Structure 1
Amino acid sequence: MKRIAFALALMAGLTASAKAGGQAVPQQTPLQRLQASIERTTRSISAAWGVYVKSLETGEEIALDADRQMETMSTIKIPLMVEAFEQIKAGTFKLTDKYTFAQGDSQPGTGTIQRLDPGAVMTVKDLLTMMIIVSDNTATEVLYRMVGGPDAVTRRMDALGLTKTRAMNIPSKWFAVLRAAPSTEQFYRDGKNPFGLSTPREMGRLLEMMERGTLVDKASSELMLQMMRGQLYRTRIPRYVTGYRIPHKTGDFLPYVGDDVGMLEAQGKTIIVSIFTGNHFGSGEALENAIGLVAKDVADYFAYRP
């Protein structure tokens, strides 16, 4: 009932103009009310926020600092996936090609491949799937080597017109600098070793190309979406959202950075939701909760949009 009440509050028009000091108060459109609600949530958390929302059916958009270049963390793995599929299309390697893991391949952080014994074998499709659904850093390291490193990914983004999207690091180098830093917080505050950079709008544009089937080709776009629909980390955009299928990819260096970019898919509707945060030094749980509330507002609004 709360969801319905919120949606109705966003969608309902005022029946009469309110008066304040004898002057009519301009009515807010439903979209403006949604934006105001999102802004209230972002102000409740001390952090840098970038938010981009777009309905692919109606063209309605909300952009809050959406062109600010920010740390991507693991959301940069979406552009890496795109580059891999471009090279697969070009015949550089195949989804069915197999990779045998060696002793030095294992990378810390997210993922499960690091727990496997050397000699384990996976296909390229397996590597891509693991990189997306559990943000596996070992798979990411191997895939970066296969495509030619971060520069190859950045060049691909340039070719797509996404000139603020930069792949900056491979996991092994990023973690090496982190280990050498005086503290985790000092490493973040220095800001000299980003894993990747992008903007909420550019990540949203990349997802729109994927949804429309124009990224690499239609079959590749659909397979990338299928991988993203299998995402296992569901504490941000999907946190409070029901009734939608949600292909998405998280990126985080909590409590400082918490990102999530994806789409809400249901009943012939597709809504881009791209959220970046940074400069956060409070509770990581509170940050994730706020991202979830933003996504819930968006989901509720479009669920009842004619």
Structure 2
Amino acid sequence: MEKLKEDILTMIEKAGGTWGIVIEDLDRNLRWGINEHVQFPAESVIKIPIMAAVFSAVEKQQISLSEEIVLKRENLVGGSGILQHLTPGIRLPVFDLLTLMIVQSDNTATNMLIDLAGIKHIQQTLRDIGMEESSFQRKLIIYPADTNKRNVITASDISVLLNALATGKIVSRHSCQQMINIMKKQQIRNGLPAYLPDPDPEMIGGMPKWELANKTGWSGDRQHDVGILYAGDRTVTITALSQGVNSAIALDTLAKIGKGIYLNIGSDCG
């Protein structure tokens, strides 16, 4: 991992701004991080622990994944996602809202799930996971009069979250598998996976060359991408948070980090 560390340090120095990064090779028990305890605005990365809170409520039989929620006009908010453009009155199962929240980063779906799970339950879920340096305090795209209410994360806490997901330690192994399957369907792929090779296997019915269960988050000069990379028999969690970086440069750097990690896994396997 030494060469990889040197390469990433060179990348982020060239990009500028502030980066919080943690990489953990779960098979080799190797870990490296930089600025891992620096707090960043969470952006849409906070949607992973929100998803975990919903699955926690499902496990407690307080919510059903098949329960249908009515989309109301007052739910509609801007930013990313398709629901803001649909007709109020439609009914969507909780599972579909979870999928939209993750794969399209749909803010309307997110706020509907926050209302369903409750802010206090989401806050407790962060504590249960062990995200001690992070905070969830408000819904998305709705700016309260008290601007001190912020959603913040650290690279260290997100790494804890991803590792708990990958090892089946959030709610239950079954719930973790469902959450990871949703994340693998991610449609926003302009960060960590952007420079990875075509994942499709050469032979029909073969295993993909890699899979990435990831979640992005962005706003202005902030670009985050975090996830679990599966390549061959290897599992690596990647947390890359940035702020104060030109958006195009940050995305290019995230893509180079993803490619560097993938190539490092391949060279280790060889």
Q: TM-score, normalised by structure 1?
A: 0.81
The answer to whether the aligner puts 1:246 opposite 2:212 as a matched pair is yes
Q: Show the counterpart of 1:226.
A: 181
Show CA shifts across 1:159-192 (max 9, x none).
Answer: 2221112112202423x67xxxxxxxxxxxxx95
Show CA shifts across 1:238-297 (max 9, x none).
Answer: 01123310000000003x1100110110211100110000123x3x11110011111111
Q: Show the counterpart of 1:22.
A: none
Q: Show the counterpart of 1:123.
A: 93
CA distance in 1, matches of 2:142, 2:195: 36
Kindly state the Cα deviation for residue 299 of structure 1 after the two structures are TM-superposed: 1.0
Identity among equivalent pairs (%): 23
Q: Show the counterpart of 1:289.
A: 252
Q: Show the counterpart of 2:204.
A: none
CA contact (8 A) 1:57 1:270 kept: yes
Work out the number of aligned pairs and report it.
257
The answer to whether the aligner puts 1:143 opposite 2:113 as a matched pair is yes
Note the aligned Cα RMSD (angstroms): 1.4
The residue correspondences of 1:105-116 to structure 2 (distance < 5 A) are 105-116=75-86
Q: 1:204 aligns with which of 159, 180, 199?
A: 159
CA contact (8 A) 1:95 1:123 kept: yes
Q: Show the counterpart of 2:138.
A: 169
Aligned letter for 2:66? T
The residue correspondences of 1:250-261 to structure 2 (distance < 5 A) are 250-254=216-220, 256-261=221-226
Q: 2:52 aligns with which of 63, 67, 82?
A: 82
Kindly state the Cα deviation for residue 108 of structure 1 after the two structures are TM-superposed: 0.3
The residue correspondences of 1:89-104 to structure 2 (distance < 5 A) are 89-104=59-74
Q: Show the counterpart of 2:129.
A: 160
Q: Show the counterpart of 1:133.
A: 103
Kindly state the Cα deviation for residue 33 of structure 1 after the two structures are TM-superposed: 1.5
Larger Cα Rg: Structure 1 or Structure 2? 1
Kindly state the Cα deviation for residue 63 of structure 1 after the two structures are TM-superposed: 0.6
CA distance in 2, matches of 1:152, 1:277: 28
Kindly state the Cα deviation for residue 148 of structure 1 after the two structures are TM-superposed: 1.0
CA distance in 2, matches of 1:61, 1:285: 28
CA contact (8 A) 2:41 2:153 kept: yes
CA distance in 2, matches of 1:119, 1:258: 34
CA distance in 1, matches of 2:18, 2:137: 21
Kindly state the Cα deviation for residue 61 of structure 1 after the two structures are TM-superposed: 1.3
CA contact (8 A) 2:231 2:265 kept: no
Give the secondary structure class of the aligned counterpart of 2:23.
strand
CA contact (8 A) 2:129 2:164 kept: no
CA contact (8 A) 1:74 1:252 kept: yes
Q: 1:263 aligns with which of 222, 228, 231?
A: 228
The answer to whether the aligner puts 1:302 opposite 2:268 as a matched pair is no
Show CA shifts across 1:67-114 (max 9, x none).
Answer: 212111000000000000000110111000001111111110000011
Aligned letter for 1:230? K
Q: Show the counterpart of 2:191.
A: 236
CA contact (8 A) 1:258 1:278 kept: yes
CA contact (8 A) 1:154 1:165 kept: no
Aligned letter for 1:32? E
What stretches of structure 1 of length at least 5 have no aligned partner?
A: 1-30, 178-190
Aligned letter for 1:206? L
Aligned letter for 1:40? T
CA distance in 1, matches of 2:242, 2:178: 28
Q: 1:215 aligns with which of 167, 170, 173?
A: 170
Moved more, 156-165 or 43-52: 156-165
CA distance in 2, matches of 1:72, 1:295: 20
Kindly state the Cα deviation for residue 134 of structure 1 after the two structures are TM-superposed: 0.3
The answer to whether the aligner puts 1:54 opposite 2:24 as a matched pair is yes
What stretches of structure 2 of length at least 5 have no aligned partner?
A: 198-208
Q: TM-score, normalised by structure 2?
A: 0.91
